[in-house]
Structure 1
Amino acid sequence: MTTISQRTALSPRHLTRAGERLSFVYLERCLVHRDANAITAQDADGTTHIPSATIGTLLLGPGTRVTHQAMSVLADSGAAVCWVGEQGVRYYASGRALTRSAALAEAQALQWANTRSRLAVARAMYQLRFPDEDPSGLTRKELLGREGRRVKDCYRTQSSRTGVPWHGRHYTPGDFSSGDPVNQAITAAAQCMYGIAHAVVTSLGCSPALGFVHSGHELSFVLDIADLYKTELGIPLAFDIAAEDEEDIGPRLRRALRDRIHETSLLDRCVTDIKRLVLPRTNNWHTADGDDDTVTVQSDDGLHLSAGRNHSPEPGTAGGAMTW
């Protein structure tokens, strides 16, 4: 078998676009290994092969063990990997961007570094969630206040629609079972959406840490993106699942969410939303995650020069460059 060190790294041309992948795959109580460019899940019932390049996020539940080779192929395929627990605890994730271009990362950093453009993106995020309102001119405090009221209204509306009693949002980190069934469903939906958002953010080459609403955490931008679909997708589905049955809330919510994400083409929409948010002033946002695998060095006046060359002037000349 070819060793990891001898394998050629996959280029963006060989990888499945983020919008065309499975939203997430959940595994538990199995050994996760690799076979060529697929991962394998081995348990008492046998071995299942899953092409790594088709996975957006791999959720590893209780009782899973994963090999170094499996993690290597998942990283090269741009898949996010998250460890999840029956108590709703999930934090670790990894993956490699599907693009080699820094265009989106640089655009995100540029928007984030300016306080006015950062607020403009936060307003655009609010309008994506609540298109019936015009947030232009609102301060951050006003945005947070309106967002809080809209989310509370969503909880009350879904409670009335499904007949599920609602006594407020209650979640104790690390203690999934402390909440009532609908709170458990909301938590499970949120955890899955965080994993999916993380997969799309990293696959596009953006920074998970540079958030426009959230801040101070390495996943701030991930939380921003996941929240875009909370009142539209996560909360209503959580109430639907809680209304059906109070047993097996987590597994049933995951299956229902996976189906709903597929039905609504959410991954493709998420990719489009991120590009439009961080590239609002350009006309080529749809090509920003292309196959460009070029490294340049920065010069004066915004000029980019070719890398891999020595840019010291030749003796006796006013300028120029020579190769290493």
Structure 2
Amino acid sequence: MTASALTRRRLGQLTLALGATTLAGRAFAQERLSIAAVNYPLAYFAERIAGDLADVRFLVPDDVDPSFWRPGIADITAIQSADLVLLNGAGFADWTARTTLPRARSVVTSAAFEDAFIATETITHAHGDGGAHSHTGTANYLWLDFAQAQMQAEAIAAALTRRAPDAEADIARNLDALIADLGALDTDARAIGAAAQGVRMIAAHPRYQYFARAYGVDIDAMEWDPREPVNDAQLAALEERVAASGARLFIWEAEPDAASRSRVESLGLTSAVLPPLANRPSDGDFISAMTQALAQVHQATLSLTGG
């Protein structure tokens, strides 16, 4: 069975699994569907899969972490009115647990792999003006395991096919292309895992649990706000962590200021930037930005191992 045929078979199975009740489909020529997403990866996947079939709403401002965004009444109304509401699951965007969303039109894109969620410790801290928040219960940057990202994309495609069965062939074709791109990211990440054996890493923030598990990478994490410069207390804590772990590579989730990078590298660490892309990248899109970031991490790892 070809990869394309296998994708179509899985798409058909997922469509059936969404439920026996058929929602009223819309003919593409009559009206575009509306899709709302709680984070950028899901919005990007939906845009790729839907093409001209739908308008995708991702309402989180560029400078806000979607994990902790607090939507206003107008935002919630816009999301509630969408034909499909794409949810990440695993506790991501906790406002969704306090808001009534249209159950029949909501898609938990991680439902197929809930048994693979990673439990985390509860840590409460504050980021800038966002107020105090907690990393509670479950790691939720699911898409950083690119095989899981593929399953999220398949769930979106299945939901779209359910809404617009006449567009099934186009949806499946677009899904095939996206799956190929996500598969390439998976291959790049596996190359990092192979090169990074024996290289311990520390990340500026706990975002990378699924990446670490999927690709066999050893990543510890600090609790730093990427928008703030590294202060003396943070540097001292990092120095202790480096001494205890022997870490050699530091992962930033956003490009640091020059002074912060210099302070971290003064501890003998090599820096690399791997944005989780919960929100839009400043340049490019999910695939291009992630490809570039993975290449940077790979190169940094090879520089440490002599590869």
Q: TM-score band, normalised by the shorter chain?
A: under 0.3
TM-score by length of 2: 0.25
Structure with higher Rg: it is 1
